[in-house]
Amino acid sequence: MPVIYVLDAFEPSGLQYLADQNQSFVPFGDPRGINWHQDAVGIMIRGSQLSADDFARARKLKVVSKQGVGVDNIALSAAREHGVIVCNTPGINSAAVAELAFTLAMAVARRVSEFDRMIRSGSKIVRPRYLGRAMHGKTIGFIGMGNIGTQAARLFRGAFDCRILAYDPYAPMGHWGDIPHVRIADLEELWPQVDVLSLHVPLTDTTRNIVDRAAIARMKPSAIIINVSRGGLIDELALADALRDGKLFGAGLDAFEEGEPPSRSNPLLAFPNVLATPHAGAGTIETQADSSLATARQLLHVLAG
Ligand code: NAD
């Protein structure tokens, strides 16, 4: 009788591990998955939603193993109430997400997607009108310096000798000792200084709209905003207004408030200096294989007690 249900598409390494351990499981897409509430003891998920009702119905459930970091798709208090352990795979995808933050910043700074679209559409390109921004020696502000923020800071510092400003009131002192940086205690100090602002915090009540209209208004018009974390961290209407008024150089967004990818009618997509990706931060072949395996291993580890 199957005890583990895989509710999202996973890279095969995790499922192969379950098979190697002679573990009975129902893979993603199998019609039996519809009835997972009846006998699931363990669940592997990525982005699927697990509601309070799911936890109330799944009487045998002991563990939810989530691939990735963010657990905002899971009703955690209901899981606690029903004694279900929720685990994730922090750190495994950090390098890949940090690489995307760096890539988006560079691509926006050098107008890569803008030029690509112009070339494909046969537009006449008057290059002096489309100058990019250099990155060397620039000031990069990080909100959130956990696993991903730290790795992204290392990339910018190593590649371009950037000045790193770090805002993370919860991180222990000395946590990023190997990265020369200035620790910022008050966000009001951060906004006017940054050439690139990179967000690496979870979405919580305190971080929702952490980049609000007032913050954007205090930033340099040459600044670039990068969000590879969660939609909801930026006031998107304020961002669109600033881009329309030429108050920012551009933005690189892997996360959107309304969904990933966002619908084509999202006003941000009308700006050529917005580079959008579909929550693809962890989307490397290497990372998917590693984290699929870790999700399966972790699940069996918890079930083994
Ligand atoms: P992490 O837990 O290692 O780091 C988060 C940091 O944010 C911590 O150091 C914490 O102290 C800090 N923080 C929390 N609240 C804060 C606040 N109000 N102000 C400033 N700092 C605050 O997490 P991580 O692995 O670095 O992930 C960061 C974000 O990236 C999460 O939102 C996660 O969901 C997202 N993420 C996105 C992708 C993607 O594909 N785009 C993949 C993985 C993770």
Active site amino acids: 230, 260, 279
Q: Please give the model's pTM, rounded to 2 decimal places.
A: 0.90
pLDDT given at position 98: 98
The predicted-structure confidence for 115-165, as pLDDT tens digits, reads as follows 999 999 999 999 899 999 999 999 999 999 999 999 999 999 999 999 999
Average pLDDT in the chain: 96
The whole-number average pLDDT for the span 192-205 is 97
C-alpha dist (Å) from residue 19 to 10, 13, 209, 287, 302: 14, 10, 44, 21, 17
Q: Does residue 70 carry a pLDDT above 90?
A: no
What is the Å distance from ligand 1's center to 34 Cα? Answer: 32
User: DSSP string spanning 8-67?
Assistant: S---HHHHHHHHHTT--EE-TT-GGGGGHHHH-SEEEESS--B-HHHHHH-TT--EEEES
Q: Does residue 11 carry a pLDDT above 90?
A: yes
What values do phi and psi take at 64, rounded to 5? -115, 120
Q: Does residue 12 carry a pLDDT above 90?
A: yes
Percentage of the chain beyond pLDDT 90 is 94
pLDDT given at position 2: 62
What is the Å distance from ligand 1's center to 199 Cα? Answer: 8
What is the Å distance from ligand 1's center to 200 Cα? Answer: 4
Regarding the beta carbon of 152 and ligand 1, being less than 6 Å apart is answered no
The whole-number average pLDDT for the span 7-28 is 96
Report the nearest atom of ligand 1 relative to the CA of 202.
Answer: 32
pLDDT given at position 273: 98
Instruction: Supply the residue whose CA is at minimum distance from atom 36 of ligand 1.
Output: 229
CB 161 within 8 A of CB 138: no
Please give the structure tokens belonging to residue 61: 């459930």
